[in-house]
């Protein structure tokens, strides 16, 4: 997502400037349901930059989203649309005095486009919401729950990997929470039919933290494709705030967080993925304080303060 900020009405002493924010969209549902304009704060699962900045600075924003297009007969039209989006993106970036990127991949791209002032602000977490739900770490569970929460998008999520994992590890429960997108593939339908796989289409935003607390391991089973190279999921720090070990794949912008007992990163290979999940299951009751500490340092309040200080200094 690209956000152009060009009006600072609330703070007239701040010079007129442009700020561009690049990042991936959130997966929990409609933004209007995720944001309460009265409190001027991002709520759970909501991309904070756009609505929060609008509420505080009364901004006019240009937002462009480059979503995958289905293969259709109007192939040429789709190519033209992508070209228009790309040109618009370049104009916004060129006009910005300061750029913020939500992943190392996006930051690298902005630098390649000639922007020197690029700050990395990865997606954060509302720690007061996700970090304060009690989880009974002493309770023994014969069936560990490995969970994913977010949009079940076929261009993002590796359903083949999840299907094979559930088949090979019938002693694990896999819970997937989120709306489905696009056509229902055969492998996705087969995944639904497995006895140890549970899927909830959607849940209220205020219940997201409770469901994460019911997991033993947080999953980020993303496809290894170009689309996901720039993705840094909101779920990463939300899982950690809930005290969960995290297992991910297909997300190169998260590799710098790999740490024993904290984050296992795997190739999109079923054997490696199961091994990573097995380690996470075994480690689920250790290093909980360390996970929460990492998440606390990524709280949205701190990130927004960093953004604002950068804008003021431009």
Contact by Cβ (8 Å): 263, 284: no
Contact by Cβ (8 Å): 34, 46: yes
Is the Cα torsion angle 58, 59, 60, 63 positive or negative in sign?
negative
pTM: 0.77
Identify the three-state secondary structure at position 305.
helix
Tell me the two tokens of residue 132: 């304060």
Residue found under tokens 């909501």: 46
- Pick from 304, 234, 302: nearest CA to 52: 304
Contact by Cβ (8 Å): 198, 178: no
Q: For 38, which DSSP code?
A: T
Half-sphere exposure of 156 (CA within 13 A, CB side): 22
| pLDDT for the residue 12 | 37
| pLDDT for the residue 50 | 41
Q: Chunked in runs of 10, what are the mean pLDDT values of the chain (314 residues)?
A: 36 46 47 33 37 37 42 71 89 90 94 91 96 68 91 95 98 96 88 95 90 96 95 97 97 97 97 98 94 97 94 84
E strand or H helix at 200:
strand 197-200
- Domains detected in the chain: 2-124+299-313 (no CATH), 127-295 (3.40.50.2000)
């Amino acid at each position: 997502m690209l956000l152009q900020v060009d009006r600072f009405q609330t703070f007239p002493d701040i010079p007129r400037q442009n700020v561009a924010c690049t990042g991936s969209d959130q997966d929990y549902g409609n933004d209007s349901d995720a944001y309460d304009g009265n409190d001027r704060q991002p709520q759970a699962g909501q991309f904070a930059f756009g609505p929060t900045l609008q509420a505080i600075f009364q901004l006019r924003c240009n937002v462009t989203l480059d979503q995958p297009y289905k293969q259709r007969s109007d192939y040429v039209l789709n190519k033209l649309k992508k070209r228009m989006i790309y040109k618009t993106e370049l104009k916004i970036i060129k006009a910005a005095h300061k750029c913020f990127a939500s992943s190392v991949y996006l930051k690298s791209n902005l630098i390649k486009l000639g922007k020197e002032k690029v700050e990395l602000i990865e997606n954060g977490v509302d720690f007061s919401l996700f970090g304060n739900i009690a989880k009974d770490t002493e309770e023994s569970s014969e069936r560990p729950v490995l969970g994913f929460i977010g949009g079940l998008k076929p261009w993002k999520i590796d359903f083949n990997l999840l299907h094979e994992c559930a088949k090979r590890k019938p002693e694990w429960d896999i819970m997937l929470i989120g709306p489905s997108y696009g056509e229902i593939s055969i492998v996705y339908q087969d995944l639904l039919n497995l006895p140890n796989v549970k899927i909830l289409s959607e849940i209220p935003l205020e219940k997201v933290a409770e469901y994460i607390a019911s997991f033993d391991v947080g999953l980020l089973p993303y496809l290894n494709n170009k689309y996901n190279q720039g993705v840094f999921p909101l779920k990463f720090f939300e899982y950690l705030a809930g005290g969960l070990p995290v297992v991910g794949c297909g997300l190169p912008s998260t590799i710098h967080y790999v740490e024993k007992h904290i984050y296992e990163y795997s190739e999109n290979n079923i054997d490696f993925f199961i091994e990573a999940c097995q380690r996470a299951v075994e480690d689920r009751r250790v290093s909980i304080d360390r996970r929460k500490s990492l998440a606390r340092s990524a709280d949205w309040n701190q990130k927004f303060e960093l953004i604002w200080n950068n804008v003021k200094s431009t």
